[in-house]
Amino acid sequence: MDEAAPRRVRGSPACLCVLCGLPAAGKSTLTRRIVGTAPERGWRAAVVSYDELIPEKAYYTEVEEDGLNLTDMHTNWKSYRQAVLQCIEQVLEQPEVVVELPSNPLINGAAWQPCVQALLQPKEFHTDGMPLLFLLDDNFYYPSMRYEVYQLARKLSLGFCQVYLQCDLETCIRRNQSRPKPIPVKVIMEMEKRLEFPNPQKNPWESQSISLNSTNDVSNSDIQRVMELLSVALNNPLSPAEDNSEQKEADRLKCATSAVHQADQACRRLISEAMKAARENQVPSKHMRVLAARLNECKATFLHDLRKRFLQEVRFLQEENISVEQVVKNIFDDKKNEILSQFIGNHKTV
């Protein structure tokens, strides 16, 4: 391939489109419809499928053996998500190496190449300035996950938009079960509890967002809405200029993430103490697994609620100088002792 073709990538208008929703909500189906329609508008489109780019182990490596913990999944998943965004940035900033395998070892190079090839081939149909669409296909169940994409779009002066596929839990589970490698049902159920769909009223940076009901097949009118959204995003790239409101939003998300991480570590210590107390009180092994699952479920719910409170009430963290350790002690510790007492009867809790 001659060197001129890849270098056309950087000079073209581009848009990062986040497709979010539960597993099996219809995101991949929608991307295929968009890719098929894009040429009619003179656009190139590439599907950035996180499921294909990121190894399956990333989802479950740090899920605790005795209970599901989406907070662990979110933490472990973050480094992989950032690696994907780094690859996209490389495509736009260094198009001369766009056809090479990504240098980041976290990314599946074999799955990445089709993404960039979709932007470069067939080159005889490409012209300078031909718009590029990056369709990011993942669950993106927390706003902080989507905000990372928004930050990249701001940095590179790209268009940014979001499409939320709203599909009922039962339909997602049914569709998921028909897949070759279905996701555990419990993971989908827990994700449904924690999913925070785009909310422009709360997050102004999510203003370019639409919601589609994907319980049934996506209609042609739905596709038209998506294409119009993409057109608006392409024609209105974000500005990299400093903006106090955006910086405050970034600080708020960073502060909440840090606080929840601290709370998670404190909860882990309390759970470890509880499990030790249960062993000392000779709780049967089959009951120990149930106890661990109950405690981890309680922790996940507590952290989810805490995170929402931190995001909604900034003063709760900043102005009132709240100790995260004390919040955990006052709330989670009581719930932990209540659960533990059900397993060791009248024995003294830790």
String of DSSP letters for 100-163 = SPPS-TTS-HHHHHHHHHHHHSSGGG--TT--EEEEEES---SHHHHHHHHHHHHHHT-EEEEE
**Which residues of the chain does CATH 3.40.50.300 include?**
14-62+69-235
Whether pLDDT at 15 is above 60: yes
> Is the model's pLDDT at 115 over the cut of 80?
no
Question: In the prediction, which pLDDT does 137 show?
Answer: 93
The tokens of 226 are what?
Answer: 């998506």
Residue 120 has φ and ψ, to the nearest 5°, of -105, -20
- Tell me what pLDDT residue 224 has: 95
Query: Which residue's structure tokens are 């102004």?
Result: 204
Instruction: Using the predicted structure, report yes or no on whether residue 233 has a pLDDT greater than 70.
Output: yes
Q: How far is it, in rounded angstroms, from Cα 342 to Cα 62?
A: 28
Residues 173 and 64: their CA atoms lie apart, in Å, by 23
> What is the CATH number assigned to the segment(s) 14-62+69-235?
3.40.50.300
Question: Do residues 259 and 310 touch, judged by C-beta distance below 8 A?
Answer: yes
Q: How many whole angstroms separate alpha carbon 3 and alpha carbon 321?
A: 56
Average pLDDT of 282-309?
87
Residue with the bigger pLDDT between 19 and 281: it is 19
Handedness of CA 19, 25, 28, 32 (dihedral sign): negative
Neighbours of 110 (CB within 10 A): 10
- Cβ-based neighbour number of residue 253 at 10 Å: 19
pLDDT, tens digit (0-9, with 9 covering 90-100), for 152-166: 999 999 999 999 999
Higher pLDDT among residues 350 and 79, named by residue: 79
Whole-structure pTM value: 0.65
pLDDT band, very low/low/confident/very high, at 324 (cuts 50, 70, 90): confident
Residue 3 pLDDT > 50, yes or no? no
Q: How far is residue 119 from each of residues 114, 212, 231, 275, measured CA to CA in Å? A: 9, 26, 17, 53
How far apart CA 332 and CA 326 sit, in angstroms, is 10
The predicted pLDDT at position 295 comes to 92
Q: How far apart are CA 68 and CA 329, in angstroms?
A: 22
Closest CA to 106 of 128, 76, 129: 76
Round the average pLDDT of the chain to a whole number and report it: 79
Are the beta carbons of 339 and 291 closer than 8 angstroms?
Answer: yes
Compute the CA torsion angle 264, 266, 271, 273 (nearest 10 deg).
Answer: 160
Lowest mean pLDDT among 37-46, 268-277, 286-295, 308-317: 308-317
Handedness of CA 39, 110, 156, 2 (dihedral sign): negative
Is pLDDT above 70 for 203? Answer: yes
> Higher-confidence residue: 265 or 64?
265
Backbone angles phi, psi at 165, to 5 degrees: -95, 110
| Per-residue confidence (pLDDT) for residue 286, from 0 to 100 | 85
Residue 99, helix vs strand vs coil = coil
Q: Which band of pLDDT confidence, cut at 50, 70 and 90, is reported for residue 349?
A: very low
